[in-house]
Structures are given as structure tokens and as C-alpha cells.
Amino acid sequence: MGNVFELVSSSRELSHEYQRKIASQLVQQTTECGYFIQGYGNQKQFLTRMITSSSRRVADEIKRFNANFIRLREAFREQTVVQIELAVLQVASTVQDIVHSIDLLDMRYGKGASFIPEKGCLPGTRTRLLVEITCSLMRSAKVGPKGASLLWLKGPAGSGKSAIAHTIAQLFKDGKRLGSSFIFDRSDENIRVPEALFCTISQDLAALIPEWKEALWNIIRDDRALRSTKSVRIQFERLILEPAKHIEFFGPILIVIDALDECIGDFESRRELHAILSSRLHELPSSFHIFMTSRPNDEIEQAFDSSPQVSCLEVGGVLADPTEDIVAFYKQRLVDDHPDLAARLDAIPDKHNWLRPLIEKSQGLFQWAITACRFILEPQLLEERVARFGILQKQRTSNVAKTASPTYEPSKHNPSPLNELYRQILNSIFASADKEHLVTIFPALLGRVLAVYTPLPVDALDALRDLNEDHGLLKSVVELLGSVLTGVGAGSQDPVRVFHTSFRDFLVNKECSGVFYIDPSSQHVALASACLRVLNSELKFNIVDLPTSYASTNMLNAKERMRDRVSAQLLYASDFWSNHLAETTDEAYPMLIELVQEFVNTKFLFWLELLGLTQKIYWAGGAMRTMVKWASMCHVESLVDFGTDAERFISNFAEVIARSPPHLYISILPLAPETSLVSKQYLPLFNNTIRAQTGKQRVWIASPMSGHTGLILAHAISPNGKLLASGSADNTVCIWDVGPENPLHEPLILHGHTNWVREVAFDHQGTHLVSCGDDLTLRVWDTVTWTSVELRGHNSAVYSVQFYNDGHCIISGSRDRTIRIWNAESGQSIGNPLGLHNSAVWRIALTPSEELVASSSVDGVICIWDLESRGSARRQYIHHGIDYVRSLVFTSDQQHLLSAADDHTIRLWDLSTDESQQVGGPWEGHSAKVQTAVFLNNESQIISSSSDGVIRIWDVDECSTNPDAPAELQTSFPRIDRDGWVHSDEEEPKLLFWLPPHYRSTFVWGRCRSLVNAEPLQLDFSRFVHGERWAECWTGPVSASSGPDK
């Protein structure tokens, strides 16, 4: 680094382009090197890191920096331009191999919220302000308080704040230091609410930093509610703070938040967001810096003004005076880019300084200058451009301007220059005789543009027109407004948006806009009706012609299939029909009631199918709640009843629909409760599905509650079969006499433990009982006197215990991750504790000869080790899964081990080789944790019990199938996962069907032969179509199907 700087410094001047580029690259690379040195130097463990496993990574980073500096030096000497990959190290550790299955797609994401480079500042403008902002962001890292910092840029509408935000985001993006950018936009439902911010930022950080992605996945993996929570506080704490705690950052990470004043969610959510940004940044790492922009706003100012983490800059004053930059902008757009226009204006008498009026009218507002240039340059003909320039020279215009609100007095209201400009533009456009009639319908047409919850292309907006509006009328009007709207050019497929939010503010202010005034709230009845008409006319069964029911949505390329089959207006209507409906509660509209009734009677399931394809099925429940509230107001009881049932239908089945929409028809509908109104309405249209012959669920069942005082956690039977010992969560051990002469009278209750009793075990003679529990102790009980001796040594709860060596020794496993061996007579620990596991030890089993021990832990790992050497001579690890392994049993020949776990499976392991292997596939069918599994009938069968309350008997033979279901299906689809899916045994499984929770505990499949304490579920597969024939399940009217032959 020093050599390169010496070489560059010795050069007299950086006059050549290649020199300047190399100098720029050098500054960037030097900065990153400084972050690296500072990051490691500030860590107390720096020297330790250098000599431990991370030293290789440190050395690799140093090599990268050196290689880049050498390349820059050689390029400077040879006078050539070199492209280098900037060496950037954002975090101190690295993830070597992130599992490919990490998938954040079902989290809410603010699509369209990221910065757009083209919206940045014109090159060469706002340089002093950009330098000050960049320096302030960097300065806060050195002298600011502990934690993250926030730089707030505030200024009036049109002052160029957003352009600055886009530019700052691009600068840090180029340096690989942009964590996320979020541009609030009140015209877009996805990016105008507080709950969209932190989940988007977290996903952006996950895309930049693999370590963040892994930490985020570990947080949300088993918490589906967290992925869709609307709580701003929970999002910040769980999706931002928690991942940040696991990572050490090197150098700055910038978050850009633009237009906070455009955030218009409910007041409580906004207040929570403001409180977090103003008072909780100290909880974030100091590497985090936030650059935020907004207009002056009382709500925001009250939250941010007194925060020690926040510094503020205002657009204006000497430093940020934009006059010179506005002059440069005008010269670039009107002179350099269009010399023919400049020459024409120069030729006009007395107009040699024709830019001055524009500069004065803009009053320092960049948005005025930008809009004026767009208005002037919109026509293609030079003379029309000159004419438009002339319009902007006038102080006031006539014609339509005279129809402004009679109460409007510019001098009284001190009008914004932007409002005056917008009025001039609209008056000039609609002043001609052939367009003046459009003024009367302007509010209805532009009102639709403003009232939609997310911007739409003009063709989609046209499709959402009122029945009385001519096709193409909207398009003909918005094409006139290219200076104030985007997406309105000829042939444009981009969404129509207001070019700047100040134009929206102008239109919705009656005193400012006069005859152009728009009341967006008046549009909702028309839009709700239009959305429902679109749903009722365009929704169809199998709308994208899905080829198979076996694949999940992400394997079917659903987004690509929707491109030509699903219109933009249908996507919008499916998302927002209920939002517009919610705004029509002032009265009951018969037309709307009729449209909603048609929707629920004929299109409801097809709507759920589409939401499953777009991965928005989780919104459907809220839509139904909205419909129920609206129908209650309208006193339409049939819609209230259907909506209430539909909400239950969605809450129970949304996850299945999201994974594979075809199973809405072939799995969910036929197995929904008999009393479900959705099922009654639609099941007659789908005859070729699976059916329940016995045990069909009749009504919706509330989610089960688990856990109660006195929960029995363990039991054991004495060798002579006369005593049953049980351990409980009530801290006691009970002894039951189960002999034939005195069965199950009142138990003997043994007190001694002070917390839950986790396991009990008799010795081989039945003279002693050992118990262990959460009170960190073991107790050895004399089975004659029932007195006990306490054994202490573990540092945490003791989960498992067994006698061995004819009852002279005890082995125990604990939450403290250790296994201890005890002298049963003296109560003393023998030798040091064994640290064979990385997490809590849950279960211990011994072979009949007591030569080998199997111990399992709560992370799904089983360790096989020899008892004599305490694991030194033999030690093998088996991975059952990632959940608690609750049961371990050796076969009589000691060559196999049977394990059962919380993943609902039972597995058999071959221990005869150096690397233990699973024998065949797992036994699957239990719908809850498998508590125990033992062998029966000379080990030809297995009997197991589960938390679902069902005992199952299984064949060990892998080729065995149940006679009550088609053998070919059981052979091709042998697997049953814990979520209820029956599928093939492949890396990307084929999905056969899905079972609702009600049916799982009694479902018999594959090697399961019978149930001990329940009647097995009987399913009828005779008319079941699946795979490539799945669409044949539909037997309704041909007109409602989009199948290839329809």
C-alpha cells in the first residue's frame, strides 16, 4: 500500500483519465484495508485469532489486499486502466457452507423499494452536500455514541432530497457497503407502511452477508408467524437485532431510508417505527449507519429532535444552496442535450438570457426545474417546445385557471411554486377546445391512478374502469401528462405513477387544484366493483395449466407460467379487492353485494389457487375478515357465514396451498370437515379425488392445547412385573402394585425430588429403583423400605439414568452435556464426567452384554461407545435428525440400534461396520413425537407410542405394505413427513397427497400393520387422480376450466 501511494504521490499531477481512475480505486481499496486493520486491531482476541483456525482467513484477506495494490501499481506504471475486484471484508467470520435450502421467499419484502441509479443527482451537481453527507456518515463512526448512528436530511418538497438519497445509495453500493435502501412511496401499498421496512432491510442484509442469512434463517425457520408479523417492534428485535448479535462487522454498513414522511401506516405502527429509529439505535453495532430523508413533519421532528444518536442536515443555506446546481441542470437539459432548442430560444428578441426566469421561478426547488424541463421537452416538435417554454414565462394563465376554487387566493395562501407550476401545466394541456371536455372526467380518471394500492400499467388501469367508461379513454388522457406522470409513454408497460409526490399533494388539495381536485376515497366503490368483475370473469380452474400435482410451487416455475396467462389487473384484483371493499362501508350497495355473492359461489377456490401461485395465500384470511365485517354492515348473513367458514378453511390449509396449489382440490377439499360451507359449495364439482370412507372430520376443531400439572414423564416395570414406577412433573415418584392379586390400588408416593422427575429404572434384581430429574440429582430407592440416597454431581437437569453391572453401577446423562458413571452403593462418581455430546444428553441405552452404550442428545445425534474404555476404544456418531432422540433400543445380537425421535420417525441402524448406516427407510406415520419404540415377536415387528395418543405396530420388513391401500402407491410414495405429506423418497420429493391433522394419528400406510387403541382411517383411492392427470379431478362446468381440452 505504501509503495503504491509513494508512486502516485511522486507524479506531478493526475492529468490523465487512467491516473484518476487508478487513484479512485486506490482510495477505495485503501479504505477497505483500513477497515480490515481497524477491525482486527480493535479486538482483544486479535493475536489469538492470528494463531488459531481463523489465521488462514486473515492470511487470505491480506493476500487479496496485496494482490490488488500490486496490480494498481503496475497499471499506474504502464499507463493502463485495470479492473480489479474490490477486496471487501464486512464481517469477522465466514460461513463455509450455507445449506441451499435456506429460503426467505415467504417473508414480506418491499418490492420496488430499492434505490434507482437513474433517479440520482445529475453528475457534477450537489457535490458539496454529497461530500458533507458522506463525511458526516463516516465521522459518526469515530466520535458518535455507542451503537448505530442516523443522519437525517430534511427539506421541503421538491428540494432534491430523494435524488441525494439515490446518489448516496449508489456510492455505497459501488463500495459494497450498502446494506439496504428503502424508498417509501405512499402510492404503493407494498412500500408505504412501517411493517415493510425492517423485514426488507433484513433480507437485503442477508443477500449481502451470508452470515446474516444463516443467522436469520435460524431465527425464522420454525417460526412462521414471525415471517409475516406486522409488529414493527418484533421485526426490529427478531429480524435486525438478533442476527446482528451473532456477527462481528468490519467497516461501515449503510442503510438508506428515503421519504420517511411518505410512510402512512396506522399511527401506532408509525410511532413505534419513529421510536426505534430515534431511541434504540444504540442496540445495533456501531458499524451500522442510517441515512434518512424526509420533509419537515411535526410527528417526525418530535421523535428525532432530542435523540443523541441522530444528527441533522437541512437542504438550504450556504453549504446546500442548490442555485448553482439548478443552473447547471438547466444548461445540461435545455442547452447541451437540445442545442436546436437553445438556438431557437436565443433567436427570440429580448430572450438572450432566457434561462433566468426559469431559475427564478424554481426558487431553489430541483423538482420545479425537473418538471419544467419535462414539460418543455415532452413534445417532439421544436415549435411546440418553444411554445411550452413560453407558457412557463407567464405569471398566470387564463381559460381553465379561472375555474379554480373561488376561495383560492395565491397571496393569502402563499402558494408553493410547485403548485403554481402544476396548475399552469394542467391548464395549458386542457385549454384547447378539443380537450376542455376532459376536465369534467379528469377527477374520475386520475382518481383511479391515485386510489389503487399499488401502481399499475395503463392497460390494467383501463381494465378496472367503470362500466360506463369507454375503453381507452384513460389512456388518451394520461398520455397527455408525461411531464407529471411516469409510465404513460406510447406502448409503455411500466406502472403509471405520479412523477413526484408533490403532484399528488396538489391534486388532493381542493384549494390548490380547483377543478382538478381528486378525492381518492370516492374511487373505492368503483374499484371494488371493477376488481370483483375482473375476478368473476378471469379466474379459472388450473389457471396456469400446472402439468403435475407432484411438484411444489417453486419447482413449477409458476412466475413464468403466469406471465402470459394472468393479467396485471387480475393480480391486482386478487390482492386488493377486499381493501377497496373495506372503504365502502358508508352504505350497502346492491351491485357490490351481487358481485361478492357471485365471487364466493363460483370463484373462491380459484382465487385461493392464484394466491397460492403468487405466494400471497396468507393474505387471504385477512381478506375474508374484511368481507365478513362488510357483510355484517350490509346485513347479508349468508356472506357472513361463508366468510367465517372460509377464514377457518384458509387458516388451516394456507401452508399446503402455498406449497402446491393442486392439492387445494385433490387433498384439502375432500378432507375438509363435512360441515364446512366451502366444502359443501365446491366438493360436488370435484368427484375424482381421494375420499375418507370412515372417520371423516365433521366440524372445525380448535387448535389443541398441550401440557397440564401432573404430566407423567417416565415409567418402568420391575423385573417380576409386580411394580410400576412412574415419574411426574409434580416432582414425585409413584409406586403402583400391578400384581394380579392387588392391581392398581392407591400408589405409594415418594417425595424427595424438588423438580420434575425425568426417568425411573429398576435394577435387574428389582431391589433398587433409580430416579433422576430437573433438580440436578439422582436418587437410589430401596424397594423394601423406600428410603433413598441422593447422588449429586451434574450441573444441570438429569434426563436419563440406567443401572448396569448387576445394579452396582449407574450411568446418567444430563443437560450439562455430560455422562457420569456412579457407584450405586457409595453414591460416588467414578472418574471424570464424559463429554461425548455437544448438547444435552437425553437418553441412554446399553446392549444386553453391557459392552456398548448408546447415548442420544437433543440435537438428534447418537453416540455409540464402549463402556470399558469409556469411549476411548470405540466411538461412532449417528445423526438421526435435528430433534430430540427419545428412545434407544439395541437388538439382541447387538448389531443394530432402534431410535425414535421428535421428528415423528423411527429408524434402524446397522452397527456392524465402522460407519454406522441406516437400514432402509424410516418408519413414518405418527403425527407427533415418538416417545418409545421397542421390538416385538422376535424382532420381526416394532411397537411404538407417540404424543398423538396412538400406539402403532409395524413390520420390520421394508417390502411390507398395508392391505387397505393400493400397494403401488405405498411402494412409490413410501414417505410420510411430520407435516402430513405422503411423498416419494427422492431428494426433490413427489407429493402424492396431504393429510389434515385430524386424520394423521389413525392413518395407516406402508409398513404400519395396525393400531392398538384406535380405529384406522379408511381412505377410498378408487377415483383419485394425481400427477399429470390431476386436473381431471374437476368435473364441474367446462366454462370454468382452463384445461388444454376445455
- Contact between residue 889 and residue 934 where contact means Cβ atoms under 8 Å apart: yes
Predicted confidence at residue 912, as pLDDT, reads: 87
C-alpha cell at 69: 495494490
Per DSSP, 541 falls in state B
- Contact between residue 900 and residue 914 where contact means Cβ atoms under 8 Å apart: no
C-alpha cell at 574: 386478487
Q: Rounded CA gap, 169 and 345, in Å?
A: 37
Predicted confidence at residue 37, as pLDDT, reads: 60
Closest CA to 624 of 665, 594, 654, 656: 654
Strands 485-486 and 748-750: unpaired
SS3 content of the chain, % helix, strand, coil (to 5): 40, 15, 40
CA distances from 951 to 213, 707, 933, 998 (A): 41, 20, 10, 16
Q: Rounded CA gap, 278 and 455, in Å?
A: 31
At 218 the three-state DSSP class reads helix
Residue 839: phi, psi to the nearest 5? -145, 180
- Say which residue the cell 462481528 belongs to: 248
List CB contacts of 837: < 8 A, sequence separation 6 or more.
Answer: 817, 819, 855, 857, 859, 861, 863
Closest CA to 162 of 259, 297, 291, 295: 259
Q: Rounded CA gap, 448 and 608, in Å?
A: 26
Per DSSP, 451 falls in state H
- Say which residue the cell 451470508 belongs to: 210
- Contact between residue 303 and residue 274 where contact means Cβ atoms under 8 Å apart: yes
At 424 the three-state DSSP class reads helix
The type of residue at 137 is L
C-alpha cell at 1015: 380405529
The answer to whether the pTM exceeds 0.85 is no
C-alpha cell at 1044: 388444454
- Contact between residue 400 and residue 431 where contact means Cβ atoms under 8 Å apart: yes
C-alpha cell at 55: 489465521
- What confidence tens digit (pLDDT) does each residue in 232-258 have? 999 999 999 999 987 877 778 899 999
- Contact between residue 783 and residue 794 where contact means Cβ atoms under 8 Å apart: no
Q: Rounded CA gap, 51 and 54, in Å?
A: 8
Predicted confidence at residue 448, as pLDDT, reads: 94
Let me know the angle formed at the C-alpha of 156 by 151 and 158, rounded to the nearest 5 degrees.
105
- Say which residue the cell 374520475 belongs to: 444
Sheet architecture: strand order including 788-792: 757-762, 768-773, 777-782, 788-792
Q: Rounded CA gap, 100 and 88, in Å?
A: 24
Predicted confidence at residue 1044, as pLDDT, reads: 34
Predicted confidence at residue 471, as pLDDT, reads: 94
- Say which residue the cell 406402508 belongs to: 1006
- Contact between residue 32 and residue 250 where contact means Cβ atoms under 8 Å apart: no
At 644 the three-state DSSP class reads helix
Task: Please give the full DSSP string across 371-394, using - where no structure is assigned.
Answer: HHHHHHHSSSSHHHHHHHHHHHH-
Q: How crowded is residue 139: how many other Cβ atoms within 10 Å of its Cβ?
A: 13
Q: Rounded CA gap, 938 and 959, in Å?
A: 18
Identify the bridge partners of residue 779 per DSSP, sorted by sequence position. 771, 790
Per DSSP, 877 falls in state E
Predicted confidence at residue 707, as pLDDT, reads: 25
Q: Helix 323-330 crosses helix 366-377 at what angle (to 10 degrees)?
A: 10
C-alpha cell at 437: 371536455
Polymer length of the chain: 1046
Residue 65: phi, psi to the nearest 5? -60, -45
Q: Helix 524-538 crosses helix 568-582 at what angle (to 10 degrees)?
A: 140
- Contact between residue 577 and residue 532 where contact means Cβ atoms under 8 Å apart: yes
Residues of the chain with pLDDT under 70: 1-65, 68-106, 139-145, 224, 316-321, 349-352, 395-415, 702-710, 739-746, 962-965, 1012-1013, 1038-1046
